[in-house]
Amino acid sequence: MNKVINNKAWWLVLPVFLLVAFSAILPMMTVVNYSVQDIFDASTRTFVGVEWYQQVLQNERLHDSLLRQFIFSACVLLIEIPLGIAIALCMPTKGRWASACLIVMAIPLLIPWNVIGTIWQIFGRADIGLLGWTLSELGISYNYAANTMDAWVTVLVMDVWHWTSLVALLCYSGLRAIPDVYYQAARIDRASAWAVFRHIQLPKMKSVLLIAVMLRFMDSFMIYTEPFVLTGGGPGNATTFLSQTLTKMAVGQFDLGPAAAFSLVYFLIILLVSWAFYTAMTHNDQQR
Amino acid sequence: MTIRKTLALLLYILFLLVPIYWLLNMSFKSNTEILGGLTLWPQEFTLANYQVIFTDPSWYEGYLNSLYYVCLNTLISLLVALPAAYAFSRYRFLGDKHLFFWLLTNRMAPPAVFLLPFFQLYSSIGLFDTHIAVALAHCLFNVPLAVWILEGFMSGVPKEIDETAYIDGYSFPKFFVKIFIPLIGSGIGVTAFFCFMFSWVELLLARTLTSVDAKPIVAVMTRTVSASGIDWGVLAAAGVLTILPGMLVIWFVRNHVAKGFALGRV
Amino acid sequence: MEWMAWTPVTAAFFGGIALLLVGMTVWEIRSPCVERRGFLPIATTRGDRLFIGLLGSAYLHLLVVGVTDWSTWIASALSVVWLLVVMRWG
């Protein structure tokens, strides 16, 4: 669609701009201010320059949680994206059965995040939870509160349970947008199911998939509530992800300066990645 | 082939439903039964856990608070996002692309970064512990999303409709309310669903910005988990009740959801 | 405004960014720019190049502060050069 150039359109955007600017820019400025000062209490503070940045960039604990975060996000993407695509391909195309599927699959998305943590906390316990009980009956020793590997797997399975549906729903709607003509042509050519997927369905889902990848990357990168409720970051620091380290620093120890500095580093990482995704996406749009 | 597909789908749905069934199952048991041993369904079916929630004001007020600010947030998001999305879909203006990207980055900003400044910002303007504060704070990530989804829907409406209406003598506000909004009805439904969902499930900001008067249910729940042992039965019942509003909303928009994504910019 | 904990340095920083944005707006109104392709792999407008320049500068500062013992001013000087290069040839 060719759009008209009209700078008066700013008046329509102004409410959104003001509303979001109020909630985004003022807190952002405050975080920047915190990050260059040593803050003792509301009235006592001294300027320390880039000291916090230096400290934060060389801090082992933060490196560890950053690394853990990247591994976690990578695992999440590698499992959820293919699984989501597969499920979308399995879903019926129309009828009551299809809308029943949609509703059931949307349920995990609508549960408050701490309830998700609670559900899995209960579900995984060996004494009162079905999963923990079944595993221990089968003779597998499983304890997400004490064993690092178990804790990791539980958090990962929980995330898959929680978010794969979003990927599946997005892909499903991408698939529905493909006109029937394409499938008819493929049938005439006697294309295999794989060829149909590779040359028709996947290219058509590309833009939807980009959104799915983007949303999943952002959300898994700032995951906080679910592992906090489930494992409390333990055992040790095994499931302490970035947001949790940050919150511990800012609220628990009141190290506002370093926490703010690290928040900004964190923000820059997300900004770079999302900009790359966004550019790739809009670039993709132009080529069509 | 179809049988295999159906089987795979059924397996996945089973995987989704079993943990939820477990929660439901527990919410109908007494605490002694829960801790006494593993039972696949409630031996002594009881509604006592639900009774606790519906009779204790600190519990049910949590639900009312949550519902109140979530609805408020959905309303605000839609009201400001509708004209903005129209502007993005119909016009090019100075800095439009950068503005759009900036809006999206707010969707991506981790709330953990903003907790303390938010607390101080809303305290300093005297809105701390009010519903409107939480609603405004949730706008940070809901408004960009609303603009994004609505913009996709509006781009799907042919531009000739606007032009014809203007020629027929409609003013912009009249055209927008009388003609345009009914055309994108399902888009508004889907957007409302997403705003509702993301505001409903958010915990960190809601908990930080409230203490007593506007305390959301999710915060009431965390308090119960940490204090005086864990009342598993009540916790499970509260969890089940938090799922219900979402299910109600998805029921209303179920036919629009798939269409919504397909039409959109996505 | 007390709670925002302003310092002269950060005030100057945000003032600078605001001035830059106002300047870019005025420039754009005076002489609208065309999208073009420079040494960057994508076609960019003036605003895109400013964004890339600023983001690059931020990372440059982090690199200097995190890895070396150099003064921050060196990083700032390098960033200005980088910004100008991107704006002119990017």
Mean pLDDT confidence for C44-50: 86
Distance of alpha carbon B113 from alpha carbon A27, whole angstroms: 9
Whether B22 and B66 map to the same domain: the answer is: no
Residues C74 and C56 in one domain: yes
Of residues C89 and A207, more confidence is placed in: C89
**Total number of domains in chain B:** 2
- Is B64 found in the same domain as B31? no
Dihedral sign, CA of C68, C72, C73, C75?
positive
Omega of the bond leading into B111 within 30 degrees of 0 (cis): no
- Together in a domain, B75 and B144: yes
Provide the 3-class DSSP secondary structure of residue A47. Answer: strand
Tokens (6 digits) for C74 = 């060196």
Residue to test with chain C: of A53, A55, A256, most C Cβ within 10 A: A53
Alpha-carbon distance A275 to C48, whole Å? 11
What residues of A are in contact with residue C13 (Cβ under 8 Å)? 32
In angstroms, the CA B222 to CA B207 distance is 10
Under 8 Å between Cβ of A204 and A175:
yes
Q: Are residues C45 and C81 in the same domain?
A: yes
Residues C9 and C42 in one domain: no
> Do residue C41 and residue C80 come from a single domain?
yes
Do both C16 and C1 map to the same domain?
Answer: yes
Same domain, yes or no, for C43 and C18? no
pLDDT band at B261 (very low <50, low <70, confident <90, very high): low
Query: Is the domain of B212 the same as that of B134?
Result: yes
Q: Are residues B145 and B235 in the same domain?
A: yes
Contact across the interface for A118 and B108, Cβ inside 8 Å: no
Q: How far apart are CA C64 and CA A62, in angstroms?
A: 18
Q: Which residues lie across from B48 on neighbouring strands?
A: none
Query: Which domain covers residue B106, as residue numbers?
Result: 55-263
Asked if C28 and C43 sit in the same domain, the reply is no
Cα of B87 to nearest chain A Cα, Å: 5
Looking at residue B75, what is its pLDDT? 94
Look up residue B157 and give its DSSP letter. S
Number of domains comprising chain C: 2
Substitution target in B63, B106, B113 with the highest count of A β-carbons within 10 Å is: B113
Among A5, A11, A158, A165, smallest CA distance to A85 is for A165
Asked if A57 lies within 8 A of C59 by C-beta distance, the reply is: no
Whether C65 contacts A53, CB under 8 Å: yes
For residues A124 and B38, the model is more confident at A124
The answer to whether residue B265 scores a pLDDT higher than 60 is no
Give the pLDDT of residue B253.
77
- Same domain as B137, residue B33: no
Question: Are B36 and B68 members of one domain?
Answer: no
Q: Among the residues of A39-192, which ranges form H helices?
A: 51-57, 60-90, 96-106, 113-124, 130-137, 148-176, 180-188
Predicted TM-score (pTM) of the model is 0.84
Q: Tell the burial category of A244 from Cβ atoms under 10 Å away from its Cβ (0-12, 13-18, 19+).
A: buried
Q: Are residues C86 and C45 in the same domain?
A: yes
Same domain, C28 and C40: no
Least confident of A145-149, B199-203, B226-230: B226-230
Helix B48-55 vs helix B232-263: crossing angle, to nearest 10: 80
For residue A180, is pLDDT > 90?
no
What is the average pLDDT value for chain B, to the nearest integer? 82
Q: Are residues B12 and B73 in the same domain?
A: no
User: Residue B263: pLDDT above 60?
Assistant: no
C67 in the same domain as C43? yes
The answer on C39 and C26 residing in a single domain is no
Distance from CA of A203 to the nearest CA of C (A): 22
Residue C20 in this model has a pLDDT that exceeds 50? yes
Residue in this structure with the two tokens 């527990």, named with its chain if needed: B26
pLDDT 10s digits, A31-72: 888 888 887 766 677 787 788 888 888 888 888 888 888 899
Give the other-Cβ count within 10 Å of A85's Cβ: 23
Give residue C23's domain range.
Answer: 1-32
* Chain A residues with CB-CB distance to C10 below 8 A: 29, 32-33, 36
Of A33, A272, A283, the CB nearest to C5: A33
Residues B195, B69: one domain? yes
Q: Which of B141, B247, B242 is nearest to B195 (CA)?
A: B141
d(CA C22, CA C13): 14
Distance from CA of B203 to the nearest CA of C (A): 24
**Do residues B27 and B240 touch, judged by C-beta distance below 8 A?**
yes
Domains and CATH numbers, chain A: 59-287 (1.10.3720.10)
Chain B hits for C4, Cβ within 8 Å: 117, 120
Kindly report the CATH number assigned to the domain that includes residue B171.
1.10.3720.10
| Cross-chain residue pair A24–B81, CB shorter than 8 Å | no
Both tokens of residue B238? 């509260």
Average pLDDT over residues C2-9: 80
In the predicted structure, residue A210 carries a pLDDT above the cut 80: no
Residues C48 and C82 both lie in one domain: yes
Dump pLDDT digits (tens) for B20-76: 888 888 888 887 777 777 777 787 788 888 888 888 888 888 888 999 999 999 999
Specify the pairing of strand B91-92 against strand A4-5. Answer: parallel
